[in-house]
Every structure is written in C-alpha cells, then in structure tokens.
Amino acid sequence: MKMKKIISLLLCMVMLMTVLAGCGTTVEDVIAEYSDAEAVTDDTGSVRDYDAGRKAFDAEAVVLNIEGEDITWDEFYDWICFALSTYEYSYGEIADYSTYSDVIIEEAVLMATAYKSVEMKAEELGIGFDADIETQIAEDVAGAVEYYGSQEAYDEAVKQFYGSQELYEYIFTVDALSDDMFEELYGTDGEKLTDAQIAEGSEGYLMAKHILVLTTDDEGNALDEAAAAEVKDTIDSIYTMLTEYEGDDLEGYFDELTAQYTEDTGYAAYPDGYLFQEGDMVTEFYDAVNGIEIGQFSEVVESTYGYHIVFRLPVDAEAVPMQYASYGYNISLRSIIANDLLSEETRAWREEVEYTTTELYDSIDLAQLF
C-alpha cells in the first residue's frame, strides 16, 4: 500500500523503530483523528501557540551536536513539535507540560539521532536520495493541500505535526532512504533473507489446516442435543477415515475430506491453512496443533465453534499471519521478519550515533514554550 507521507509521517518514527509500515493504522485513520480539531489546546484551554514557542530562544543558538553537526534551536524546536505530536497521537493530549517535558525533549533527541543514523547508514551503503524526491514531495504536498482545503490550513497542520515544512521534507526524504535500505538489505519483500533468518524469525509461529463441523447454527446458538449428536457422529466418521487411510498422500486425502465436510467459513480464503501465533486462534485449536508433529493430524478437538480435526503444516514464510490477514493486510511472514530485522538494525545504528548537548538544552522546559 503506497501511503501519502503527509500525516502518515507523523508515525514514521514508529516505523523506523519497528519498521512496519502497515502498523495497523491507515493514513485515513490518522487524518480522521486529527482533522476534527484545528488546533491543540493546553491544560488551561488555551490554543497551543507554536510560533510563540519557537521564539523562546535565539534561533541560531546551538542545542546539541550530532556527529559533528550543530543543531540550532530553530531546528531542534521542529523535533520537539514532531516528538510532541507523535507522543500525543499514541497516548493522548498532554495536559501538564511540566510533567512530560523531559520525556518529550528526550524523545526529540532520540528522533533526531535516529534519522541521522539512517542517513549515515544509507551513505555507508552507497544509497543516495531518489532523483525525483522533490517531485514526490511536491505531489504529496499538493494532495495534502487539497485535502485540507487551503494552503493556510495545510501550513497549520505541518506546523503542528513537524514544526516546519523543512523538517517534514527531511523526514520524507529519510523515509525514502529507509525504504531503499530495506530493499538493499533484504529485498523488496524480504527475498534476500537467509534460511537461518527465516527459521529464527518464524519461532513462535504455527501453521495448520483443519476440518471443522459446527455445533452452532447460523446465529451462533448451540444445536439441540439430537443435532449435536449427529455432528459428533460425522466428525468421528471423518476421523476414522483418516486413521484408516493407507495411501502415500495423507495431506492430499485430508484436503479431499476438508473440501467435502468442513463448515469453516474461512476455508475459501485460507485453503492452504492458517499461519498463527498463540492467542490468534481459539485455545483448543492452538493446543491441538502444538501437540502434534508436522504432517500429522490430531484427534477430534472440541471448541466453542464445534469439532475440529487439525493437520499441522510446516510454516510457510510466504503466508500471511492471521494477526494481519484478519485485518485485511497482505503482509507475508517473510516481509514481517525482514522488517523486524531492520528494526533491530535501526536501533543499533542509533545507539552508535554520538551527540553532545549544550547548556541551552538543559534549560528547555515545555511549560515555558507552550
């Protein structure tokens, strides 16, 4: 899914630390949440004045130095705005600036150094900025201006989320570098992963298909005793057929019986089985799969849905885990593993970045800015 950067970039620090673009939240969700309010208010009910906060210190005064590069107050203030908007998106509007001042300021440093680390790593890998990056930015800005209805409304949104257009464009650019690095290190969808990386990243995942005969009606009500007994007879006969099978393609035979008998509404969407972790499926299903070896089928298992016979499969890295598939995201396990690995790399890169702060940094207090 290609995401427009305006507003979605509010979450890109989360992406850099978790490196999962899907993250369960769409751009539309973020826009809808923020577009209802034209301005953020503080605990007194006053509108947050971003321009006044910027004027708290000399614009050219140095706040910190990252890898030999001075970061002025004017620049660092943008990072504070970005950290503040990101924090409030995740945890709600801050009512007491004094209480959260240190948290937000430290987060601003974390963000600045994280982005710098990605920029440095990209240079090390020989990955440059996209030749058409300015065109990409212009197109996204045009789309955002159209959404907000005017240039003025867009400018206010950027001020609230990023502090300035400059930081927005920098974040957009480094975000593009991060995408390019992902492809360089792991491939477009993680195809460069080694077997060892896939094996390690697949730990905790199980995969299985099943035959389900329901003990509930279409409204979810339990069947009467006679109907339930018929269901039990059906599943028992299926189990008997499986145990008596003497051919050399047990899985193929299981598939034949599944096509004939299963009442699982998800079968059409997942004919090759479910990929899941503990907690994604009903406990009885998970325990049954976890209790057998790959290529084996279970005994009859009863859950709140009905009677199951499960067949354990080897984990398929190309399959989409249920925690994503159930929400409509087509993200393969392979891609998830690659994203997790890049997340670990990103944290390591950031920890390698050297920076120092000045006395001005120590004097910053959000309560005095807003």
pLDDT at 158 over 50: yes
Examine residue 327 and state whether it is found in any structural domain, yes or no.
no
Examine residue 322 and state whether it is found in any structural domain, yes or no.
no
pLDDT at 14: 38
pLDDT at 129: 87
Q: Percent of the chain scored above 90 by pLDDT?
A: 84
Same domain assignment for residues 39 and 67: yes
Same domain assignment for residues 49 and 188: yes
pLDDT at 167: 98
Q: What is the CATH number of the domain that holds 354?
A: 1.10.4030
- Where is pLDDT greater, at 130 or 359? 359
Q: What backbone torsions phi and psi does residue 195 show, to the nearest 5 degrees?
A: -60, -35
Average pLDDT over residues 223-241: 97
Same domain assignment for residues 41 and 184: yes
Domain count of the fold of the chain: 2
pLDDT at 322: 97
pLDDT, tens digit, 9 for 90 and up, residues 1-55: 233 333 334 334 333 333 323 333 333 343 344 444 445 555 544 578 999 999 9
Same domain assignment for residues 36 and 115: yes
CB 87 within 8 A of CB 94: yes
- Where is pLDDT greater, at 71 or 9? 71
pLDDT at 67 over 80: yes
Average pLDDT over residues 190-196: 98
Examine residue 328 and state whether it is found in any structural domain, yes or no.
no
CB 40 within 8 A of CB 48: yes
pLDDT at 10: 36
Q: What is the mean pLDDT of the chain?
A: 89
pLDDT at 47: 73
Q: What is the CATH number of the domain that holds 264?
A: 3.10.50.40
Rounded to two decimals, the pTM is: 0.79
- Domain range for 281: 203-316
Average pLDDT over residues 80-94: 94
